[in-house]
Protein backbone atom coordinates (compact mmCIF):
# COMPACT_ATOMS: atom_id res chain seq x y z
CA UNK A 1 0.00 0.00 0.00
CA UNK A 2 1.47 3.33 -1.07
CA UNK A 3 -0.01 6.47 0.51
CA UNK A 4 0.48 10.04 -0.68
CA UNK A 5 0.33 13.04 1.63
CA UNK A 6 0.52 16.78 1.08
CA UNK A 7 1.72 18.23 -1.24
CA UNK A 8 1.10 15.11 -3.37
CA UNK A 9 -2.67 14.88 -2.88
CA UNK A 10 -5.64 17.20 -3.34
CA UNK A 11 -5.93 20.29 -1.15
CA UNK A 12 -8.89 18.93 0.85
CA UNK A 13 -7.34 15.47 1.34
CA UNK A 14 -4.82 14.40 3.99
CA UNK A 15 -4.11 10.89 2.67
CA UNK A 16 -4.48 9.42 -0.80
CA UNK A 17 -4.22 5.69 -1.52
CA UNK A 18 -1.92 5.83 -4.51
CA UNK A 19 -1.29 2.10 -4.93
CA UNK A 20 -2.67 -1.04 -3.32
CA UNK A 21 -1.67 -4.54 -4.37
CA UNK A 22 -1.96 -8.03 -2.94
CA UNK A 23 -0.62 -11.14 -4.67
CA UNK A 24 -3.38 -13.33 -6.10
CA UNK A 25 -2.76 -16.36 -3.80
CA UNK A 26 -3.52 -14.15 -0.77
CA UNK A 27 -6.70 -12.55 -2.10
CA UNK A 28 -10.12 -13.45 -0.73
CA UNK A 29 -8.80 -14.20 2.76
CA UNK A 30 -9.50 -10.83 4.38
CA UNK A 31 -5.80 -9.94 4.42
CA UNK A 32 -6.19 -6.89 2.18
CA UNK A 33 -9.04 -5.44 4.23
CA UNK A 34 -7.05 -5.99 7.44
CA UNK A 35 -4.01 -4.26 5.93
CA UNK A 36 -6.05 -1.29 4.70
CA UNK A 37 -7.78 -1.00 8.09
CA UNK A 38 -4.45 -0.96 9.94
CA UNK A 39 -3.14 1.82 7.70
CA UNK A 40 -6.37 3.82 8.04
CA UNK A 41 -6.19 3.44 11.84
CA UNK A 42 -2.59 4.61 11.89
CA UNK A 43 -3.25 7.84 9.98
CA UNK A 44 -6.25 9.96 10.99
CA UNK A 45 -7.70 12.48 8.58
CA UNK A 46 -9.48 12.94 5.27
CA UNK A 47 -8.90 9.99 2.93
CA UNK A 48 -9.40 9.60 -0.81
CA UNK A 49 -8.79 6.72 -3.18
CA UNK A 50 -9.53 6.01 -6.83
CA UNK A 51 -10.21 2.76 -8.59
CA UNK A 52 -10.89 1.88 -12.19
CA UNK A 53 -14.63 2.14 -12.95
CA UNK A 54 -14.53 -0.35 -15.86
CA UNK A 55 -16.45 -3.62 -16.04
CA UNK A 56 -13.12 -5.48 -15.87
CA UNK A 57 -12.50 -4.12 -12.37
CA UNK A 58 -15.68 -5.29 -10.64
CA UNK A 59 -13.64 -7.17 -8.03
CA UNK A 60 -11.61 -4.08 -7.13
CA UNK A 61 -14.73 -1.94 -6.94
CA UNK A 62 -16.45 -4.45 -4.63
CA UNK A 63 -13.35 -4.68 -2.46
CA UNK A 64 -13.07 -0.92 -1.93
CA UNK A 65 -16.81 -0.44 -1.51
CA UNK A 66 -16.91 -3.13 1.19
CA UNK A 67 -13.67 -2.09 2.89
CA UNK A 68 -14.45 1.63 3.02
CA UNK A 69 -18.08 1.02 4.02
CA UNK A 70 -17.08 -1.36 6.83
CA UNK A 71 -14.31 0.91 8.06
CA UNK A 72 -16.37 4.12 7.98
CA UNK A 73 -19.58 2.42 9.13
CA UNK A 74 -21.22 3.64 5.92
CA UNK A 75 -20.13 7.26 6.35
CA UNK A 76 -18.32 7.80 3.05
CA UNK A 77 -18.81 9.37 -0.37
CA UNK A 78 -18.62 7.38 -3.60
CA UNK A 79 -18.73 9.04 -7.00
CA UNK A 80 -17.63 8.66 -10.61
CA UNK A 81 -15.66 11.65 -11.82
CA UNK A 82 -12.83 12.85 -14.02
CA UNK A 83 -9.49 13.00 -12.22
CA UNK A 84 -5.89 13.80 -13.12
CA UNK A 85 -5.72 10.10 -14.07
CA UNK A 86 -8.90 9.96 -16.19
CA UNK A 87 -12.38 8.72 -15.27
CA UNK A 88 -12.32 7.03 -11.84
CA UNK A 89 -14.57 5.66 -9.14
CA UNK A 90 -13.69 7.81 -6.12
CA UNK A 91 -14.12 6.97 -2.44
CA UNK A 92 -13.76 9.60 0.29
CA UNK A 93 -14.08 9.31 4.05
CA UNK A 94 -12.85 11.02 7.19
CA UNK A 95 -11.58 9.05 10.17
CA UNK A 96 -10.44 12.01 12.27
CA UNK A 97 -13.01 11.24 14.98
CA UNK A 98 -12.52 7.46 14.92
pLDDT confidence of 9, banded at 50, 70, 90?
confident
- Sequence-separated (6 or more) residues with CB below 8 Å from residue 67: 32, 33, 36, 37
Q: Can you give the pLDDT at residue 75? A: 98
Residue-wise pLDDT tens digits, 31-88 = 999 999 999 999 999 999 999 999 999 999 999 999 999 999 999 999 999 998 899 9
Residue 98 pLDDT more than 80?
no
Residue 46 and residue 15 in contact, taking contact as beta carbons nearer than 8 Å: yes
Average pLDDT score over residue span 3-28: 92
Amino acid sequence: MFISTSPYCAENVDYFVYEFFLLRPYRGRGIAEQAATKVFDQFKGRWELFTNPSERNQTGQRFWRKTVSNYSKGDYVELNDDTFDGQKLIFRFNNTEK
